[in-house]
Amino acid sequence: MIDAAIVGLGRWGKTLVGAVHGKSRSLRFTHAVSRDADKLRDYAAQHELKLVSSLEPVLAEPAIDAVVLATPHSVHFPGIIAAATAGKAVFCEKPLTLTKAEAAQAIEACRAAGVVLGSGTDKRFFPSLRELVRLAKGGELGSILHLEAHFSNEVAGTFTQWRYSPEESPAGGMTGTGIHVLDTLTAIAGPVGRVEALLLSHKPPPDPLDSLSVLLEFESGISGTLAAVRSTPTYLRVHAFGRNASAEALGPTELVLRRSGAAPQRLSFAPVDSVRVNLEAFADAVAGRAPYPIPTGEMLATVAAFEAITNAVASGGRIAEP
């Protein structure tokens, strides 16, 4: 059992705690760091958490194996560095960092310290997306020619104020939903070479209404598109087009295979708690039972593409290169 500290007990921090509390045999949260500790006494007692108001006591506690960061995006980088320096494995919510340079430094700090780095791109563990990546990378679709991804939802109205800041959450729905499917695309196609992006706003924050459209050219020569809308009923689709077949993930548990001359094959998978699966995969890596399934090279490629998209949006949609 890996003992971990959760840093940040906002909406998503509580989601992470709830995913494993009383359910996991691999990881448990024993400590929590929050600036609002006084308001969280009852929650902490219910979930058997020792509350502290700063990171330092957690980093100095020998019994804590790992630190899980559910903090504003701009403080992910210093949090990763602090945890790695203290010799703690670190799991960081998405986006890992806001820039490629910071991601590279964070990855190197964890490598140098010999600690595991995990990423909160939990949708990678949706059964439909796992099968899609397996089919595409395993050659069953033939040479991959094009990828399409769309992930939208309507939770923007429930966000805390910092999530509406363009500094914390650039490029519309990119940090909320878009980065999840971008992670899947880079897992299949590798690093992005250049992007074009367009963000159209119908209503500014709070509770924004906007749409993001992205054209992608991967270094491997594969083309791609990505879209994210805030807000609309939740919708997830990732489609890989190969020479021999295509595979389309629709939501967490459905996948459609299309082959020439054959009727579409529709596959359904049992649902999983992707947040818990991700945390337990991280715990298994910390315990030395198995490598963490998201390699750091893929984490870096995702952040590099994310930064290129945000730069393209900021420049009015012009081409940007990582």
Task: Give the domains, in start order, of the chain with CATH numbers.
Answer: 2-122 (3.40.50.720), 123-314 (3.30.360.10)
Question: Bigger pLDDT: 75 or 204?
Answer: 75
Q: Is the pLDDT of residue 249 over 90?
A: yes
Query: Which whole number is the average pLDDT over 87-98?
Result: 98
Write down the pLDDT at residue 157.
64
Which residues, 6+ apart, have CB-to-CB distance to 295 below 8 Å?
none
* Model confidence pLDDT, tens digit, residues 205-236: 888 999 999 999 999 999 999 999 998 999 99
Q: Does pTM surpass 0.75? A: yes
- In angstroms, the CA 286 to CA 73 distance is 24
Q: Is the pLDDT of residue 246 over 70?
A: yes
Query: Which whole number is the average pLDDT over 297-311?
Result: 98
Which is nearest to 34 in space by CA: 64, 5, 77, 62?
5
The answer for 284, left when phi > 0, alpha when psi is -120 to 50, beta otherwise, is alpha
Q: Which of 39-43, 98-102, 246-250, 305-309 has the lowest mean pLDDT?
A: 39-43
Two structure tokens written together for 304:
């590099």
Query: Which whole number is the average pLDDT over 122-145?
Result: 98
Query: Which whole number is the average pLDDT over 173-192?
Result: 97
Write down the pLDDT at residue 164.
82
Which is nearest to 68 in space by CA: 247, 60, 58?
58
- In angstroms, the CA 191 to CA 306 distance is 11
Mean per-residue pLDDT of the chain = 95
Write down the pLDDT at residue 66.
98
Write down the pLDDT at residue 7.
98
Which is nearest to 236 in space by CA: 249, 255, 218?
249
Query: Which whole number is the average pLDDT over 251-265?
Result: 97
Write down the pLDDT at residue 167.
87
Q: Is the pLDDT of residue 107 over 80?
A: yes
Query: Looking at this protein, which amino acid is placed at residue 206?
Result: P
Handedness of CA 222, 228, 232, 233 (dihedral sign): positive
